């Protein structure tokens, strides 16, 4: 907005109003003192001070009301602009991670407030290297998903001038300026056609000049349709929209940063998965090799031995257990390797723990580790929690694998237990390893902190993040020489 032009006019009006309010203030004090003296026959400076205090108490709220009334009557458009800015600031007082929701707010606020034929918001899609219309109102709603190349004349002109584009102004130049160079005329014609395609009479650029992009970057545009009154956009309109565009640029930049952090985190989780799986891949192959060898032997001897009753009994006892063992390993690997958006559903945590135990079975044998399971409740109830089985398997994989590594080749015991409460399920993973000092415990969930020579230091940090995504919590207790216990609390369905 043109504050230089607006401020003197406001100052004059506010000065007159303030003078009138001050005169009213003193009149009320004098009238109050006059009536009080007439009723009581008593007058003093204390009475005058008391009356002044009472009047002053009501003066400030009254003055605020009068100021709002003056804004509304004499500066209506500025008053509306301020309201719109306040609404926008309230809607995006903190950074957002959803560009679609952000894009919908601007058209919603401006379409009716400025009485427009339409409006849309176009945002840079960094993967497509295109500008995509994300939301719109009125005529703008008909071009949602429309794409504009980053190499188009429209985009290059806004990046070069860092100014708004006014269709009427460009059309006037094309009609009246006979000396316009042919290449510039062609460029302006292309820009006007692009603005027509975007149903826009005015386009306001949202440009970021922060270090995040390393160079000035057009990250969004506000595409304004024509005013239904057929009025041109005033200087004040444009200044207001620029103010809005600056706020929008900051919000979109924060959104881009959140998107990058999310992608980085997802990649770190994938890398940690591969690292954890890499340490156990030989054991997994060994665990699958044993039942496969058994099945191969059965298949070879079946034609000759089927009539042998002892052979049939042996196959009947061992065959289902070996198949179930293979099934647990394969399903566990499948759950562990999949990556998708969080999907919470009733999940039997004892089944998930069994799959992880099957995957790590060879590691238990190699390190002389005894595995104890205490899942069953007194009434036979299973420990169902509201969880994503593909993500929670990574939690258990990280924690049990850590327990194996903590115990080492000297052997020990890992105990997996479950407890059901009214609202939660508690899973405890306890080992008889060397334990940890209080200094280590304070850092155990810090990213990149590790006590292993080849560790990434991300396993427990990612584990806690996954548990917190489930609206759960993770706790650790440990003493040197007495082992470590991780306790995971997850909500019940």
* Fold topology of 97-261: Beta-Lactamase (3.30.450)
Query: Mind listing the pLDDT tens digit for each residue in 31-65?
Result: 766 666 666 666 556 656 665 666 556 655 665 56
Give the rounded distance of the alpha carbon of 47 from its chain centre.
60
Q: 276 Cβ partners below 8 Å, 6+ apart?
A: 397, 398, 401, 459
Confidence of residue 381 (pLDDT cuts 50, 70, 90): confident
Q: 244 Cβ partners below 8 Å, 6+ apart?
A: 84, 85, 88, 106, 204, 222
- What mean pLDDT is predicted for residues 312-328? 66
Q: How do 424-431 and 483-491 pair as beta strands? A: antiparallel
Contact 471, 493 (CB under 8 A): no
Contact 162, 207 (CB under 8 A): yes
Q: What's the CATH class of domain 279-491?
A: alpha beta
Taking the alpha carbons at both ends of the chain, their separation in whole angstroms is 54
The DSSP output letter for 409 is G
Can you give the pTM of this predicted structure? Answer: 0.49
Query: Mind listing the pLDDT tens digit for each residue in 325-350?
Result: 666 666 656 655 555 677 899 999 99
Contact 227, 202 (CB under 8 A): no
Give the whole-angstrom CA distance, residue 71 versus residue 50: 32
Residue 269 sits at the vertex; the CA angle it makes with 263 and 272, to the nearest 5 degrees, is: 140
Q: 240 Cβ partners below 8 Å, 6+ apart?
A: 1, 81, 84, 85
Range name among 42-46, 67-71, 107-111, 134-138 with the lowest pLDDT average: 67-71
Confidence of residue 7 (pLDDT cuts 50, 70, 90): very low
Q: 455 Cβ partners below 8 Å, 6+ apart?
A: none
Residue ranges of the chain that CATH labels 3.30.450.40: 97-261
Residue ranges of the chain that CATH labels 3.30.565.10: 279-491
Contact 352, 392 (CB under 8 A): yes
Confidence (pLDDT) at 269: 60
Contact 80, 113 (CB under 8 A): yes
Confidence of residue 431 (pLDDT cuts 50, 70, 90): very high
Q: Is a pLDDT exceeding 80 seen at residue 430?
A: yes
């Amino acid at each position: 907005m043109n504050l230089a032009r607006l401020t003197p006019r406001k100052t004059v009006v506010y000065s007159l109003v303030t003078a009138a309010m001050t005169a009213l203030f003193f009149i009320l004090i004098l009238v109050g003192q006059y009536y009080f003296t007439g009723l009581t026959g008593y007058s003093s400076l204390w009475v005058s001070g008391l009356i002044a205090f009472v009047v002053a108490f009501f003066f400030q709220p009254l003055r605020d009301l009068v100021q709002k009334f003056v804004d509304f009557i004499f500066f209506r458009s500025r008053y509306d602009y301020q309201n719109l800015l306040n609404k926008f600031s309230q809607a995006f007082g903190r950074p957002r991670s959803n560009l679609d929701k952000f894009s919908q707010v601007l058209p919603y606020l401006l379409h009716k407030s400025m009485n427009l034929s339409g409006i849309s918001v176009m945002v840079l899609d960094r993967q497509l290297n295109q500008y995509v219309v994300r939301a719109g109102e009125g005529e703008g709603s008909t071009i949602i998903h429309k794409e504009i190349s980053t190499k188009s004349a429209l985009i290059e002109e806004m990046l070069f001038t860092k100014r708004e584009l006014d269709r009427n102004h460009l059309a006037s130049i094309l009609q009246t300026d006979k000396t316009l160079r042919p290449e510039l005329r062609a460029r302006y014609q292309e820009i006007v056609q692009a603005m027509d395609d975007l149903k826009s009479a005015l386009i306001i650029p949202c440009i970021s000049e922060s270090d995040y992009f390393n160079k000035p970057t057009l990250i969004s545009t506000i595409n304004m349709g024509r005013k239904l009154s057929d009025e041109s956009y005033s200087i004040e309109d444009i200044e207001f929209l620029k103010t809005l565009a600056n706020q929008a640029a900051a919000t979109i930049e924060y959104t881009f940063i959140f998107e990058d952090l999310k992608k980085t985190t997802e990649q770190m989780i994938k890398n940690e998965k591969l690292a954890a799986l890499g340490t156990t891949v030989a054991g997994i192959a060994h665990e699958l090799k044993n039942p496969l060898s058994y099945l191969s032997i059965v298949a070879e001897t079946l034609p000759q031995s089927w009539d042998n009753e002892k052979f049939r009994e042996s196959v009947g006892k061992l065959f289902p257990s070996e198949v179930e063992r293979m099934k647990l390993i394969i399903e566990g690997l499948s759950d562990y390797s999949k990556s998708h958006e969080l999907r919470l559903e009733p999940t039997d945590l004892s089944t998930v723990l069994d799959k992880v135990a099957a995957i790590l079975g060879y590691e238990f044998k190699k390190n002389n580790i005894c595995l104890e399971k205490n899942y069953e409740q007194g009434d036979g109830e299973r420990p169902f929690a509201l969880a994503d089985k593909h993500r929670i398997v990574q939690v258990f994989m990280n924690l049990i694998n850590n327990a194996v590594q903590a115990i080492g080749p000297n052997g020990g015991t890992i105990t997996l237990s479950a407890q059901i409460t009214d609202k939660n399920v508690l899973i405890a993973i306890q080992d008889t390893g060397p334990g940890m000092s209080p200094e280590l415990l304070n850092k155990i969930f810090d990213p990149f902190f590790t006590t292993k020579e080849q560790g990434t230091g991300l396993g427990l940090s990612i584990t806690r993040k996954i548990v917190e995504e489930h609206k759960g919590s993770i706790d650790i207790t440990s003493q040197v020489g007495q082992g470590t216990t991780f306790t995971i609390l997850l909500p019940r369905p």
